[in-house]
């Protein structure tokens, strides 16, 4: 790890009034949750269903084949035994001490909150929340069976509160993320390929300050950042955010 670059980043973070961390699937790989687009990611593993995993995670597939969707979902999307890793804990510890950090996450696993982070914007929703498509009744993960297609007491089919392909992001969450990025002094991007829109477009709202990216693989956005770390995200965040 480049010590000079690390020291400069730490100085910028120490002087910042507001910081945004924009994170993706790579943040949770240390917790045993596979990412999607890396060479070892879920989308590069042969599907057992005869259709691509990206297709299964679409709104139209969910509506047409809910049984197949949920078979995949319970096997691959809900990691009940996963625990926060070094990356989650470094961010949570920093927020608890300094209170000036907002996390914008593409992850749906809830591990940032488990680690203790409070200011978390879940751009793609969460596997912890559900609702009935018929009556709108909300459900938590522990209120529904973790197999098959869950149904509400009214008989309606239950849908996870996650953003599927073909669905828009929650407008209020996206707008708050834009405003947080717009007024941040430091933007740290971590564990994301920067290929999933509209979240990958958020950095264009970053006006003045220091941009840092941490990702195991190079990304299309590396050239726009002030500092680039192709390092382990947990170790790098610990080094950047320690007092």
- Burial grade of 41 (CB within 10 A; 0-12, 13-18, 19 or more): middle
**How many alpha carbons fall within 13 Å on the CB side of residue 121?**
24
**Structure tokens of 17?**
């009034």
The residue from 76, 124, 146, 151 that is catalytic is 124
131 with 158: CB under 8 angstroms?
Answer: yes
In this structure, the dihedral spanned by the alpha carbons of residues 73, 79, 85 and 89, taken in order and rounded to 10 degrees, is 90
The phi-psi region of residue 32 (left if phi > 0; otherwise alpha if psi is between -120 and 50; otherwise beta) is left
* 99 belongs to the catalytic site: no
155 with 134: CB under 8 angstroms?
Answer: yes
Q: In terms of residues, how long is the chain?
A: 243
Active centre residues (catalytic): 124
């Amino acid at each position: 790890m480049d010590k000079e670059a690390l020291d400069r980043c730490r100085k910028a973070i120490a002087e910042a009034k507001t910081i945004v961390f924009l994170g993706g699937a790579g943040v949770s790989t240390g917790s045993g949750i596979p990412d999607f687009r890396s060479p070892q990611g879920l989308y590069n593993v042969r599907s057992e269903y005869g259709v691509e995993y990206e297709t299964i995670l679409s709104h139209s597939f969910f509506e047409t084949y809910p049984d197949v969707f949920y078979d995949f979902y319970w096997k691959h999307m809900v990691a009940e035994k996963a625990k926060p890793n070094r990356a989650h804990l470094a961010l949570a510890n920093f927020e608890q001490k300094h209170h000036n950090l907002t996390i914008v996450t593409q992850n749906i696993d809830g591990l940032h909150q488990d680690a203790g982070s409070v200011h978390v914007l879940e751009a793609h929703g969460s596997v912890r929340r559900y609702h009935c498509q018929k009556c709108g009744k909300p459900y938590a993960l522990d209120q529904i069976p973790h197999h098959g297609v869950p149904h509400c007491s009214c008989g309606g089919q239950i849908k996870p509160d996650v953003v599927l392909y073909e669905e828009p992001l929650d407008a209020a969450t996206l707008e708050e993320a834009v405003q947080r990025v717009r007024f941040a002094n430091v933007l740290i991007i971590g564990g994301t390929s920067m290929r999933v829109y509209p979240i990958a477009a958020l950095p264009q709202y970053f006006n003045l300050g220091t941009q840092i990216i941490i990702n195991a693989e190079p990304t299309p956005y590396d050239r726009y950042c002030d500092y680039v770390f192709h390092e382990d995200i947990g170790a790098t965040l610990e080094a950047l955010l320690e007092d």
